[in-house]
Amino acid sequence: MKSYSIQEINEVINGVIYGTTSQSITATEQLEKATTSEISFIGNKKYEKYWSASNASIAVVNEDISIEPGENRAFIKVKNADLAMSQILALFAPPTPIFHNNIHKSANVDETAIIGEGARIGAGCYVGPNVKIGANATIYPNVTILDECTIGKNTIIWSGTVVRERCHIGNDCIIHPNATIGADGFGFRPCKEKGLVKIPQIGNVIIGNGVEIGANTCVDRGKFSSTVLGDGCKIDNLVQIGHNSKLGKFCIMAGNSGLAGSVTLGNGVIIGGSASIKDHTTIGDGAIVGAGSGVTCDVPAGKTMLGYPAVEARDALKQWAILKRMVCDSKK
């Protein structure tokens, strides 16, 4: 079991210790459930009220905290408790699943594939012709990587993921279980003779560096050219990204949200959970789309959009206030 003193923990996060405690810390936990051997966090002043009832000996807190730690308890004050929390969680993280061999004997790796130094490939994986897997990449069991794909160095692909032919994933990415990279885009056209004719999807997917894609998410390949996810994008579980969409750097898409085909997101765009974006729409740098919203037209940079159909947040709030007042008036 890992165990750290408050001084050893503070060496990691470089905060300022207030109070004293000799208690060794063996785990992290939320305030309400923490024991004396666990460290917790107060990332917002509204949670200060829970500290007195908590059994935690140590809490990482923001610099503006207004309470005292108490007897034999201590705070580590930092500029951003949430960021410090991520460092401490990494400190206590359990080991990753074990690989007894770099390439499991049941993995099917084509003879033309190039496997980088230190890369690991788990049981039941398929690695197709002319695939390139970078140094220290980790491919967990039962992953399929089809012809001519590239996987960057240090990238982790979890079990059940399928990477279709000619798709490219950058360095330091994480692809969670059962994601699909490069499925056919949804393209059909009416035809008198056949009803609906499938439009061939002959493009690919290009994913930048430091991208994380959640479980059961699908990124469709381009009809022609590429569907592109820029560096640092973070995509939640159960997200749909349509063919030929292009995401700038550091975009966030929360669970159950979706982009139709040929959507363009600027840098730093945030898409809330269950939001949907119409095809051929452009959303500018730093814009925010609220949860459950439906975007049907272009959004300028920096705007916050709410509602269905989505309008600027202040307009949406005014509309909701008017509707609420109308309902209340009708009951009088």
Structure tokens at 317: 């709030």
Domain carrying residue 67? 6-92
Co-location of 166 and 307 in the same domain: yes
Co-location of 88 and 167 in the same domain: no
Co-location of 67 and 167 in the same domain: no
Q: Is 26 exposed, middle or buried (0-12, 13-18, 19+ CB in 10 A)?
A: middle
Q: Is 314 helix (H, G, I), strand (E, B) or coil?
A: helix
243 is catalytic: yes
d(CA 15, CA 85): 12
d(CA 28, CA 173): 26
| Final residue of a structural domain among 34, 64, 92 | 92
Catalytic residue among 100, 176, 243, 280: 243
Co-location of 172 and 300 in the same domain: yes
Domain assignment of residue 76, yes or no: yes
Domain assignment of residue 144, yes or no: no
* pLDDT tens, residue order, the chain (332 aa): 789 999 999 999 999 999 999 999 999 999 999 999 999 999 999 999 999 999 999 999 999 999 999 999 999 999 999 999 999 999 999 999 999 999 999 999 999 999 999 999 999 999 999 999 999 999 999 999 999 999 999 999 999 999 999 999 999 999 999 999 999 999 999 999 999 999 999 999 999 999 999 999 999 999 999 999 999 999 999 999 999 999 999 999 999 999 999 999 999 999 999 999 999 999 999 999 999 999 999 999 999 999 999 999 999 999 999 988 998 888 87
Number of structural domains (the chain) is: 2
Peptide bond into 177 cis (omega under 30): no
